[in-house]
Amino acid sequence: MQNLTGWTVETLHDGFAQAHRMDRVLYDSKTKHQRIVVFESAQFGRVMTLDGVVQVTERDNFIYHEMMTHVPLFAHGSAKRVLIIGGGDGGMAREVLRHPVDQVTMVEIDGGVVDFCKEYLPTISDGAFEDPRLDLQIADGAGFMRDTAGGYDVIIVDSTDPVGPGEVLFTDHFYGHAKRALTPGGILVTQNGVPFMQGQELTGTLRAFGSLFSDAYAYLAPVPTYQGGFMAFGWGTDSHVRDVDIATLSARVNNMGSSFGYYTPEVHKAAFALPGYVKQLLP
């Protein structure tokens, strides 16, 4: 262990942390909602933290964003309207907009995060904020969900952890409103943290999903800067599209003419294979 001057230490978990050397601090300021820091790291490129928790890095964000978008969108096969709650850095919108969707509504509570990410982390959104299909709303996601007329084929909840402004996005109320906002056969996906460290979070979300959806499950991806093993995503739908086969997924991927850094049809299927310690967290 070494002296950590010039490093930042994440404090998300009790008694266990990740540290990054900050080679250059590009920004450090407080918005109305949270403290934002962006720094340059030798390993991860630019890194953004909110209230001291790593949210996004240039080097590894593709894993998280691809898995929260392409898994539900390729499983669905014909999503036209997509809703993103949170996601102020624009990485989720970037990946959704690779699909032939008509409209992506993104509801971010903190306008400061959006402005700031456009300036300091332009590679994350990569032009998404200029796409005419993006409808960006600066509003509280829970309030939006309560009041929306719905009609979304896929809803993606790209929240922070359930502390601070993200907390309301983990309630039964919010999930109930999200279910109502889906088209029949629509899919809801959520970020549920690292289950090795934050098991309660996955259990809580899936308990709510279990009373709302005929298919309530989880899938996984390892994201290096969401440290502690696999990251878990909640999956809720009344359709059977979790059963989609690799050939169908491959045809959809080829049709789009895209290739991805992490997502493949094989990874899609494998992500739903849950290890014992994760299965035990399912309610």
Q: Does 226 bind ligand AG3 (CB under 6 A)?
A: yes
Q: Which is nearer to ligand AG3, 109 or 249 (CB)?
A: 109
**Edge-to-edge, what's the strand order for the sheet holding 182-191?**
134-138, 103-108, 81-86, 152-158, 182-191, 230-237, 215-222
Q: Which of 51, 95, 108, 161 binds ligand AG3 (CB under 6 A)?
A: 161
Smallest gap from Cβ 15 to ligand AG3, in A, equals 15
Among residues 51, 89, 110, 158, the one annotated as catalytic is 158
Active-site residue flag, 158: yes
Smallest gap from Cβ 13 to ligand AG3, in A, equals 8
Q: Which is nearer to ligand AG3, 218 or 244 (CB)?
A: 218
Q: What is the DSSP string of the chain?
A: ----TTEEE--SBTTB--EEE-SEEEEEEE-SS-EEEEEEETTTEEEEEETTEEEEETTTHHHHHHHHHHHHHHHHS---EEEEEE-TTSHHHHHHTTS--SEEEEEES-HHHHHHHHHH-HHHHTTGGG-TTEEEEES-HHHHHHH----EEEEEEE---SSGGGGGGGSHHHHHHHHHTEEEEEEEEEE---TTT-HHHHHHHHHHHHHH-SEEEEEEEE-TTS-SSEEEEEEEESS-GGG--HHHHHHHHHHHT---SS--HHHHHHTT---HHHHTT--
Q: Does 8 bind ligand AG3 (CB under 6 A)?
A: no
Residue 67 near residue 271, CB atoms below 8 Å: yes
Smallest gap from Cβ 193 to ligand AG3, in A, equals 4
What is the total count of residues that contact ligand AG3 (CB under 6 A)?
16
Q: Which is nearer to ligand AG3, 199 or 210 (CB)?
A: 199
Q: Which is nearer to ligand AG3, 96 or 244 (CB)?
A: 96
In angstroms, the CA 84 to CA 211 distance is: 22
Q: Does 234 bind ligand AG3 (CB under 6 A)?
A: no
Contact segment (CB under 6 A) with ligand AG3 among 24-32, 100-108, 113-121, 158-166 equals 158-166
Smallest gap from Cβ 243 to ligand AG3, in A, equals 28
Smallest gap from Cβ 216 to ligand AG3, in A, equals 20
Q: Which is nearer to ligand AG3, 156 or 249 (CB)?
A: 156
Q: Which is nearer to ligand AG3, 157 or 267 (CB)?
A: 157
* Residues comprising the chain, all counted: 283
Smallest gap from Cβ 159 to ligand AG3, in A, equals 6
Q: Which of 72, 162, 186, 193 binds ligand AG3 (CB under 6 A)?
A: 193
Residue 71 near residue 88, CB atoms below 8 Å: no
* Residues from 67 through 96 that contact ligand AG3 (CB under 6 A): 87, 89, 91-92
- Enumerate the active-site residues: 158
List interacting residues with ligand AG3 (CB under 6 A): 12, 53, 55-56, 87, 89, 91-92, 158, 160-161, 191, 193-194, 198, 226
